[in-house]
Amino acid sequence: ESVVADAIDGEGYIRFPLLTMQLAEIMRTTGRSAEALAMLQQVVDGNAEPPVRSLVQYGSLLKFVGEKEQAFLVLDRAVQRYNDGLVFSSEDVAMVAKASWLLGNFHDANSLFDEATRANPNNLEAHTLWADLFLEKYNAADAERGYQDALDLNGRYVPALVGMARVVGDERSLQRALAINPNSILALETYGQLLMMNGREDEAQEYFRQVLALNPESLKTLSVLAAKAALEERMSDYEDYRQQVEAFSPDNAEFLGHIADSFGNNYRFSEAVAYARASIEFDPEYWQGYTLLGSNLIRLGEEEEGRRNLEIGFDNDPFNVMTSNMLKVFDTLETYATVESEHFKVHMSERDSLVLWPYLEPLLEESWTTLSAKYNYEPEGKTLIEVFEDTADFAVRSVGLPDIGPLVGICFGKVITLISPDTLSANWQEIVWHEFAHVITLQMTNNRIPRWLSEGISVWEEREGRSYWGRSQGLDLVRAAEEQKLLPIGDLNSGFSGAQNNADLSFAYFQSYLVVDYITETYGFNKLVDLIYEYGEIKEESERFRAALDMSLNEFDGAFQRWIDQRVQEINVYVHTEDVPDEGEGHGHGIRENSSAILAELYNNASLKQHMRSRIEENERDFQAYLQLGIVLFKEEAFAEAKQYLETAYEMLPSYTGYPSPALVLSQIYDREDNQEAKLQWLETLLENLQHDYGAAIELAESALAAADYERAAYYVDRAIQVNPYRNDVHELKARYAEAVSDSALAVTEYEVLMQLEISDPVEARTNLAEAYLNNGQPGEAKQNLLYALEQAPSFERAQQLLLESVAGETGQ
């Protein structure tokens, strides 16, 4: 700064526009926007043809300080210079692109950045600014490409390093940027935001302190701090931050947009809506405000108003990928059916409304009745549920972007979004129950309950809902205890936000469940309810635990750790360092694959057996060694010896449900030995803890029905439907069960569902449905289906006979 100022040396900014632009940039980035504005005004007003960059700098600053109309006039001058054919260099074309961006002409900006990088492929600034535009519009793929293009040219270019960190959440890029320039405000504030998102608030505050020391006009940092204050209802602090922004950037809509976004990200949708409305009142042309308003309204179930605001945003900023995506999902929803029950309104595909709804409706009402009574809380109005056939539609509806990772259901408090079971290989009923438990706990606390507690309760309620639902992660618990990876209660949220992989995320759910299990087991369910309500108020974490459980947070942590130690001792298995956690999709909803055991299935060799035997000699509680050795021996058809190792593995950890499990392999051995009784016993054992196995449930249902054990048949056929209601065989089996117990209404339901699936013989299916209608006293419906069947097969005698019966039934003969 001093070097540039000395070079100008009082000669006036008009004579030295290039130096003045550099000095003005320094002034702006160090919180002296008024001084920068005065300098640039002299350059712009005092030169007939001021540099393009000076026009864009000046216009950008005018917009920043609230002089929007004047800003647009200045920015238009830069664009007009280009239109007049007077802009030649890549650097100036990039500045015109930025001017178009600031004017809201995003497609023009995109084309101009393209032109700038073509004119000079080595223009680092153009590549990075173009990527910034993509990132602002939620186009992460193109943003990452742009930053990488810049880094390929110069791996030390700080703005590109920071941009890459913003895309992928990579601390290493930020550390490298700060090693190059420790005073990079962009890097410091981005690092602070990343740490804040990952729950490392104390570290984040230090970075924000450094930013404000360098630039007290950092809008992003002040917005983040103001949002945190507002979320914690420290309104005096919030007002201080707002006044700081107001002093240098009056009525800044972007500031309020940041606040709205923070509330939305924290599930505080009502407040997010209020801040988004305020941002639009400040600037009716703040198009991102309409996207924020629309997206948060639909999470409150206000679909029509939400869509209207998204359309306003899209009409004026079609470059915004999030807005575009969310509107496309509305187009999908227009093709969906809407069905309702007493407490739920559900949007789902026409197919799902016919195949899934007969089983979803009673489950939903059961969950409402059970959980509302249990928590003595009735949710407000009807809960809106949207079931998507396409995972990208589900992701966009939930978060605005098509990639949501392994999530299969999300609850926003009044709205639940789900992936259709047609695309899952998991127990969809467990997922629905889990998500509705969120409706209860979120609404009980006005959406203030922390994620760890809400998830812990929802996972705990899975096992409460059905004995075979829930998570069995004993090996993971032992591993985490040995590696000292269990988090203190106050840091549990970071287990979700800071998870590096699916295994980490799955264990965050499991530890949260364990905390809830400990509370209910040790202090009682009523104390859990007390703790839930404590989160409805803004207070320190330790105060909540003191009020609900009469102990400090540190005391609770210590007691919980002792309980965990006892549980680990009860599990009493050894986890070898070479074994990795089981991997699964859907945040634990679904079968989790045992990578080590799968390798044992693939590699049938003496060295693997020798290695596993040596592991067992080293530690006789090595569960994985017994399991892998049993699998290898099974592959070698050494069944007797295989059973010994597998039975030992099962006795060691009977709740283990990874794939393959001891119970599963034992059932396969007995199948090969043609011992059906033992095979079925092991399949029953398998399903005592595993809720996601369709084949085992079908086989047990078939066996029970053949033995006229109708109670067991009904139980296992429903277990199969919980995993996959789209298979013909399960509905054919349930229809046979219905006929066997003379439940004509159930038979009608099953044959109606079958008509919606892919069937090999539609004439036979129509005739079966007609017969069910006849038995249920519905001769008219029977006649209609029989006429259809006979159109296809006029000589089908069974249909002819049933048609006579249906006609007689209609006439009362």
Instruction: Find out whether 349 and 336 touch, Cβ atoms under 8 Å.
Output: yes
In a domain, 356, yes or no: yes
Q: pLDDT tens across 362-391, in order?
A: 999 999 999 999 999 999 999 999 999 998
What does residue 386 show for φ and ψ, rounded to 5 degrees?
-125, 125
Last residue of a domain, one of 277, 302, 331: 331
pLDDT of residue 594: 81
pLDDT of residue 11: 53
Residue 356 pLDDT grade (very low, low, confident, very high; cuts 50, 70, 90): very high
In a domain, 437, yes or no: yes
Over residues 622-627, the mean pLDDT reads 95
d(CA 60, CA 41): 12
Q: pLDDT tens across 430-441, in order?
A: 999 999 999 999
User: Of all residues in the chain, what percent carry a pLDDT higher than 70?
Assistant: 97
Among 368-377, 476-485, 668-677, name the one with the lowest average pLDDT.
476-485
Domain identity same for 304 and 384: no
Instruction: Find out whether 726 and 503 touch, Cβ atoms under 8 Å.
Output: no
Number of folded domains in the chain?
2
In a domain, 518, yes or no: yes
Nearest to residue 162, comparing CAs of 152, 151, 22? 151
Question: Quick check: 599 pLDDT over 90?
Answer: no
Domain identity same for 437 and 549: yes
Question: Quick check: 598 pLDDT over 80?
Answer: no
Over residues 172-191, the mean pLDDT reads 96
In a domain, 111, yes or no: no
Question: Quick check: 812 pLDDT over 70?
Answer: no
Instruction: Find out whether 445 and 532 touch, Cβ atoms under 8 Å.
Output: yes
236: CB partners within 8 A, 6+ apart: none
Domain identity same for 287 and 405: no
In a domain, 732, yes or no: no
Q: pLDDT tens across 72-97, in order?
A: 999 999 999 999 999 999 999 999 99
Over residues 485-494, the mean pLDDT reads 91
pLDDT of residue 322: 93
How high is the mean pLDDT of the chain?
Answer: 93
Among 6-20, 112-126, 409-423, name the one with the lowest average pLDDT.
6-20
Last residue of a domain, one of 331, 360, 385: 331
Domain boundaries, position 420:
337-571
pLDDT of residue 88: 92
Domain identity same for 445 and 507: yes
For residue 293, give the CATH number of its domain.
1.25.40.10
Question: Quick check: 19 pLDDT over 90?
Answer: no
Instruction: Find out whether 429 and 363 touch, Cβ atoms under 8 Å.
Output: yes
In a domain, 299, yes or no: yes
Domain identity same for 325 and 372: no
Last residue of a domain, one of 331, 354, 383: 331
Domain identity same for 492 and 508: yes
Domain identity same for 405 and 298: no
In a domain, 317, yes or no: yes
Domain identity same for 362 and 408: yes
Q: pLDDT tens across 108-120, in order?
A: 999 999 999 999 9
d(CA 58, CA 52): 10
784: CB partners within 8 A, 6+ apart: none
Domain identity same for 470 and 361: yes
pLDDT of residue 403: 72
**Helix H or strand E segment including 416:** strand 415-419
Q: Cis (ω within 30 of 0) for the bond into 51?
A: no
513: CB partners within 8 A, 6+ apart: 455, 456, 459, 460, 470, 471
pLDDT of residue 402: 75
Q: pLDDT tens across 229-252, in order?
A: 999 999 999 999 999 999 999 999
Over residues 387-406, the mean pLDDT reads 85
pLDDT of residue 622: 96
Domain identity same for 322 and 393: no
Domain identity same for 504 and 381: yes
pLDDT of residue 1: 56
Domain identity same for 257 and 343: no
For residue 527, give the CATH number of its domain.
1.10.390.10
In a domain, 13, yes or no: no
| 313-335 b/e (C-beta count within 10 Å ≥ 16 → b) | bbebbebbbbbbbbbebeebbee
Residue 282 pLDDT grade (very low, low, confident, very high; cuts 50, 70, 90): very high
